[in-house]
C-alpha cells in the first residue's frame, strides 16, 4: 500500500498530494510552484531553499548532505527542497524569486513617483 501525503506551498497556497518520500522539489513541480535550481537536485547550488515554519512538520530530518550545506546559515526551519522529503501533511514557504522581487519593488517605486505628478 502506498501512502500519499499532502504538502502546501506558501504564499501561493497551492498544494500537491504525492507519494510519501517524494522530495519537496518534485512535489513543488507537481503543484506548479516554481523553485529555482541550478544543480538539478544535487545539493550543490543552494538555490532551492525553502522554510518549514513548523519544526514538527511532516518532512524528513536533515540528511548529512543538507546539514553540511546549511551549516553556515543560522536560519531555523531552512531546508533544501531537493533534499527534504515529505512524509506527512506539511506546509513550506517558498521565497519570492529575487528577480521578480526586484521588478515588483521597481514598479512600486514608479507608482509612488507617478502619484507625485
Residues engaged in binding ligand FES (CB under 6 A): 37-39, 41, 43-48, 80, 82
| Closest residue to ligand FES: CB criterion | 82
* C-alpha 16 chain-centroid distance: 13
Q: How far is the CB of 69 from ligand FES (least distance, A)?
A: 7
Q: How far is the CB of 109 from ligand FES (least distance, A)?
A: 32
**Beta strands 90-93 and 14-19, pairing class:** unpaired
Of residues 68 and 109, the one with the C-beta less far from ligand FES: 68
Torsion of CA 10, 100, 113, 115, to 10 degrees: -40
Q: How far is the CB of 40 from ligand FES (least distance, A)?
A: 6
Amino acid at each position: 500500500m502506498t501512502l500519499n501525503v499532502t504538502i502546501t506551498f506558501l504564499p501561493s497556497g497551492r498544494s500537491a498530494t504525492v507519494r510519501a518520500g517524494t522530495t519537496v522539489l518534485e512535489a513543488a513541480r507537481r503543484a506548479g510552484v516554481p523553485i529555482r535550481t541550478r544543480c538539478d537536485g544535487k545539493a550543490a547550488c543552494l538555490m532551492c531553499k525553502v522554510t518549514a515554519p513548523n519544526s514538527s512538520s511532516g518532512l524528513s530530518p536533515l540528511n548529512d548532505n543538507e546539514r553540511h550545506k546549511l551549516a553556515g546559515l543560522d536560519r531555523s526551519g531552512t531546508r533544501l527542497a531537493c533534499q527534504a522529503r515529505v512524509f506527512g501533511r506539511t506546509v513550506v514557504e517558498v521565497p519570492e524569486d529575487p528577480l521578480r522581487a526586484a521588478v515588483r519593488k521597481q514598479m512600486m517605486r514608479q507608482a509612488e513617483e507617478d502619484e507625485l505628478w
